[in-house]
A and B are shown apart, each in its own frame.
Chain A
């Protein structure tokens, strides 16, 4: 076992507290802007024993497909994978809510020994007539990958019996990280695309991709597009429907946010149906405006007659929204000016937009990272952040807590797993993850974001937190306090 032994020496084990929080093997996944040439290792397997904030392949597939509200989502595996993803996201539906239920084959020891195919088939026969879904997604988990159930065959037979698409999702947890899960989800959705009627779809139309309608965010974007004169064919997958996916190939353009999650599907649709795609972001101010203008520009160029007046409509929209937003932001900014923020999110696109969004609050992002960014993503991030900013891939609690202390940030933007780290250090927090119940996209989302940050950072409670108490007592005190 010399390979595992070489990283460790007796001194390290006996004096852990003197050792900094960064694992030797992870040094090249962290970059401090301005210190040496930019270079970062990414998309690497998480380090054993390091408490990565990442999840697994199954998680990647599950989050992407989750908001498809009229599909049955059946997890083929032991109970945990389904239990931990029951009603987990803030994805809203304007109609059916089948996605908010949790279905599992709850594999038992005997199933593991003799195979779970029969149980899966029976489960589908039970659930499909009960809920009459438009389609069923069947997720593979670690165990299914090992016992060798032929998911595709069971799904095909069930599909023939019930007359709806029953789609296997090859999401065995151990076969990579979240990114592989995104790809498996895209492959599953691809089987639906192209099977529906597109005759009533305008050429001036889009699919909203990589947005999950958390707190109704897809509806905000849909409203902007409709004010620009653009039809939305499918939310992929925000407020998602099986029939919308079936006819998504009728759209004139795919607009793709959260590049990791649905860009694979956008590429497939480009290659198979010739639908171009644009990368967009619905977070912040510039990014939202630029995204809307880019969409308008695309249609002005490709459909000049149909799209006549689209640029005017778009700039009117942006002006109207900013006229409401900016005065309110100014108010909030007065208190926030000069404060420092840390950002650690799932996808790197969001990190970009948040760095820019914080500038509108007069705040600086001093730590930025993601679970699944690429080296190119981080290079671009490093280019827009100030020297000294820490850029990190696939971080863990030890690193994050050390960075928060070092940079003395005022607020942390992340998900549920990061929240207690920030709170234990007496630092404000904003949930920007998939559990959020407050819309943070679009111009109205920027205002909500600013309010969220303000509400946390400006709370009087921080003065009582031990770390702040110490800092405050060390600061020059008012006259007469000390002899």
Chain B
């Protein structure tokens, strides 16, 4: 770090402050540096969490390739997405023949047991009726042992990748879990778009209460696989079709994510069709939201939380005592997917960090109300809440707020660098650091990990910016 940079920092935040700025929130027609991804991407991720499944995009070849590249750069794992690879003629005469041919090829070469078909803006606009095409397909090839086909409508011009994700999870439940299964003792868990490390920890938590979860989707192994002897065309792991069918006989469903709590989801679908009790909770981030998950599990199973997990809670609180002064009163800008934003804001408020701006690229998510509900009294002052924001909006607004840190995925890196403030990298995508798939956010353990990382970012900056370079901090 050269002297100029240090001086700029010591001189305060005049670089960021622009008092004349009367910015009032997103009002631009154009989008600059989007804070969201397109709808089908979320669906391809969700389908990746079903055992022996291939994600399939009905559209032009580029969509599949771009999304693969984007997802691979985060997970550093193979991410095959088959495509119907439509050309100009298909766009005019319909994509049905290519879709059917593509499905056959994916079954033949991948040996797929399940194919999850998501549409794109191209096929939605030319009006391909995928549901009907799949019925035709099953009829035409009824002599063959066909894969299970699941389809979800994901026009890229409607919603974000989160809609695609939740839509695909619901489609899997709706289309593969169609009969009432014999009652079993299991608990369905719809986790939302969380990391493989989060999925593994959620399973551990539920097992701690003496029951085996059916977690959908489970890409904890398919997108974070060990080194293996043989290349697996479809990586091992994922929720099995048998488990998906057993969901209708489960003791209860837990669905994580406050922002989807007013939508039709896999959880509501099971509740309506099979009377499966549904617990809708926030993402278990920080103490109170994790406590709520533990309370729900206790009431479902009748068991107490296991001692090791409670010890983690205790250690986490002990660490908050040890570390609170490093972060107390720091101003944070939080951005990303709606439910992650809610969970992060709650976590930050609990540790004494002041969220000043919370922004998501999604629209109409009622973010302010959800944040208020999740944070309760620990949030002393409501942050500015922005929906439908892009990074132009976030940066312009943040300039007036002089934040001390950013919390979100990799795409906030430019702003953090320009303002010389730390970025706590969370969620998806992590494109400029290593190990994004192994980041843990959920449970007491996830909170511990986030808190340790955050404190160390603050200490590192303090040490780097200091002329003295203290050896004890």
> Do A and B truly interact?
yes
Residue ranges of A at the interface with B (Cβ–Cβ < 8 Å): 1, 3-5, 7-8, 10, 12-14, 16-17, 19, 21, 23, 45-59, 74, 77-86, 101-109, 111-112, 119, 122-123, 126-127, 141-143, 145-147, 173-177, 397-398, 401, 405, 416-417, 419-421, 423-426, 464-467, 470
A397, B80: Cβ atoms under 8 Å? Answer: yes
**Which among B221-229, B313-321, B365-373 touches the partner chain?**
B221-229
Q: How far is the CA of A23 from the CA of B99 in the complex (A)?
A: 16
What are the residues of chain A within 8 A of B69 when measuring CB–CB? 84, 416-417
Cβ contact of A119, chosen from B29, B73, B81, B140, cutoff 8 A: B29
A176, B87: Cβ atoms under 8 Å? Answer: yes
Q: Which of B56, B99, B122 is the most central at the interface, judged by chain A CB atoms within 10 Å of its CB?
A: B122
A104, B77: Cβ atoms under 8 Å? Answer: no
The interface bits of chain B over 209-253 (1 if a CB of A lies within 8 angstroms of the residue's CB, else 0) are 000000000000000010111111100000000000000000000
What number of B residues sit within 8 Å (CB to CB) of A? 83
Give the distance to chain B from A133, nearest Cβ to Cβ, in Å: 13
What are the residues of chain B within 8 A of A23 when measuring CB–CB? 105, 108-109
A1, B140: Cβ atoms under 8 Å? Answer: yes
A103, B31: Cβ atoms under 8 Å? Answer: yes
Residue ranges of B at the interface with A (Cβ–Cβ < 8 Å): 28-34, 36-38, 40-41, 56, 59-70, 72-73, 76-88, 90-91, 97-111, 120-122, 125-126, 136, 140-141, 143-146, 155-158, 160, 225, 227-233, 411
A175, B88: Cβ atoms under 8 Å? Answer: yes
Q: Which of A21, A51, A55 is the most central at the interface, judged by chain B CB atoms within 10 Å of its CB?
A: A51
A123, B30: Cβ atoms under 8 Å? Answer: yes
A58, B62: Cβ atoms under 8 Å? Answer: yes
What are 5 contact pairs spanning A and B, CB under 8 A?
Answer: A55-B65, A79-B37, A79-B156, A102-B33, A470-B229
Known contacts A48-B98, A48-B101, A108-B158; is-contact A56 B65 (Cβ 8 Å): yes
The 10 nearest A-B residue pairs measured at CB: A56-B62, A80-B38, A49-B105, A16-B111, A49-B102, A48-B102, A123-B30, A78-B156, A84-B66, A174-B60
B108, A16: Cβ atoms under 8 Å? Answer: yes
Q: How far is the CA of A5 from the CA of B143 in the complex (A)?
A: 11
Known contacts A78-B38, A146-B125; is-contact A101 B100 (Cβ 8 Å): no
A10, B144: Cβ atoms under 8 Å? Answer: yes
Known contacts A79-B37, A105-B30, A424-B228; is-contact A51 B64 (Cβ 8 Å): yes
Shortest Cβ distance from A123 into B: residue: B30
What are the residues of chain A within 8 A of B60 when measuring CB–CB? 56, 142, 173-174
Q: How far is the CA of A17 from the CA of B77 in the complex (A)?
A: 21
A104, B62: Cβ atoms under 8 Å? Answer: no
Q: How far is the CA of A397 from the CA of B87 in the complex (A)?
A: 22
Known contacts A5-B140, A119-B29, A146-B126; is-contact A52 B231 (Cβ 8 Å): no
What are the residues of chain A within 8 A of B107 when measuring CB–CB? 13, 16
B97, A4: Cβ atoms under 8 Å? Answer: yes
Shortest Cβ distance from A402 into B: residue: B231
A126, B28: Cβ atoms under 8 Å? Answer: yes
B121, A51: Cβ atoms under 8 Å? Answer: no
Q: How many A-B residue pairs have CB under 8 A?
A: 256
Q: Chain B: interface secondary structure?
A: mixed
Shortest Cβ distance from B105 into A: residue: A49
B155, A109: Cβ atoms under 8 Å? Answer: yes
What are the residues of chain B within 8 A of A464 when measuring CB–CB? 227
What are the residues of chain B within 8 A of A53 when measuring CB–CB? 65
What are the residues of chain B within 8 A of A470 when measuring CB–CB? 229
B145, A13: Cβ atoms under 8 Å? Answer: yes
Q: How far is the CA of A17 from the CA of B111 in the complex (A)?
A: 7
What are the residues of chain B within 8 A of A106 when measuring CB–CB? 30-31, 34
What are the residues of chain B within 8 A of A13 when measuring CB–CB? 107-108, 144-146
What are the residues of chain B within 8 A of A141 when measuring CB–CB? 121
Q: How far is the CA of A50 from the CA of B102 in the complex (A)?
A: 7
What are the residues of chain B within 8 A of A111 when measuring CB–CB? 157
What are the residues of chain B within 8 A of A425 when measuring CB–CB? 231
Give the distance to chain B from A188, nearest Cβ to Cβ, in Å: 18
What are the residues of chain B within 8 A of A173 when measuring CB–CB? 60-63, 122
B104, A78: Cβ atoms under 8 Å? Answer: no
Cβ contact of B56, chosen from A49, A143, A423, cutoff 8 A: A49
What are the residues of chain B within 8 A of A83 when measuring CB–CB? 34, 36-38, 70
What are the residues of chain A within 8 A of B411 when measuring CB–CB? 86
Known contacts A13-B107, A17-B111, A78-B121; is-contact A126 B126 (Cβ 8 Å): no
Cβ contact of B108, chosen from A12, A143, A416, A466, cutoff 8 A: A12
B84, A49: Cβ atoms under 8 Å? Answer: yes
Give the distance to chain A from B44, nearest Cβ to Cβ, in Å: 12
B122, A49: Cβ atoms under 8 Å? Answer: no
What are the residues of chain A within 8 A of B157 when measuring CB–CB? 78, 107-109, 111-112, 143
Known contacts A50-B82, A417-B72; is-contact A82 B34 (Cβ 8 Å): yes
A84, B121: Cβ atoms under 8 Å? Answer: no
Known contacts A1-B140, A80-B156, A147-B125; is-contact A420 B72 (Cβ 8 Å): yes
What are the residues of chain B within 8 A of A122 when measuring CB–CB? 29-30
A424, B109: Cβ atoms under 8 Å? Answer: no
Give the distance to chain B from A235, nearest Cβ to Cβ, in Å: 24
Q: How far is the CA of A383 from the CA of B144 in the complex (A)?
A: 44
What are the residues of chain A within 8 A of B98 when measuring CB–CB? 48
A426, B34: Cβ atoms under 8 Å? Answer: no
B65, A54: Cβ atoms under 8 Å? Answer: yes
A143, B38: Cβ atoms under 8 Å? Answer: no
B82, A417: Cβ atoms under 8 Å? Answer: no
Known contacts A5-B140, A105-B31; is-contact A467 B229 (Cβ 8 Å): yes
Give the distance to chain A from B115, nearest Cβ to Cβ, in Å: 9
A86, B34: Cβ atoms under 8 Å? Answer: yes
A55, B66: Cβ atoms under 8 Å? Answer: yes
Q: How far is the CA of A59 from the CA of B61 in the complex (A)?
A: 10
Q: How far is the CA of A85 from the CA of B67 in the complex (A)?
A: 10
What are the residues of chain B within 8 A of A7 when measuring CB–CB? 101, 104
What are the residues of chain B within 8 A of A398 when measuring CB–CB? 109-110, 233
What are the residues of chain A within 8 A of B231 when measuring CB–CB? 401, 405, 421, 424-425
Give the distance to chain B from A46, nearest Cβ to Cβ, in Å: 5
What are the residues of chain B within 8 A of A16 when measuring CB–CB? 107-111
What are the residues of chain B within 8 A of A126 when measuring CB–CB? 28-30
Shortest Cβ distance from B231 into A: residue: A401
Give the distance to chain A from B269, nearest Cβ to Cβ, in Å: 24
Q: How far is the CA of A127 from the CA of B32 in the complex (A)?
A: 9
Q: How far is the CA of A457 from the CA of B7 in the complex (A)?
A: 44
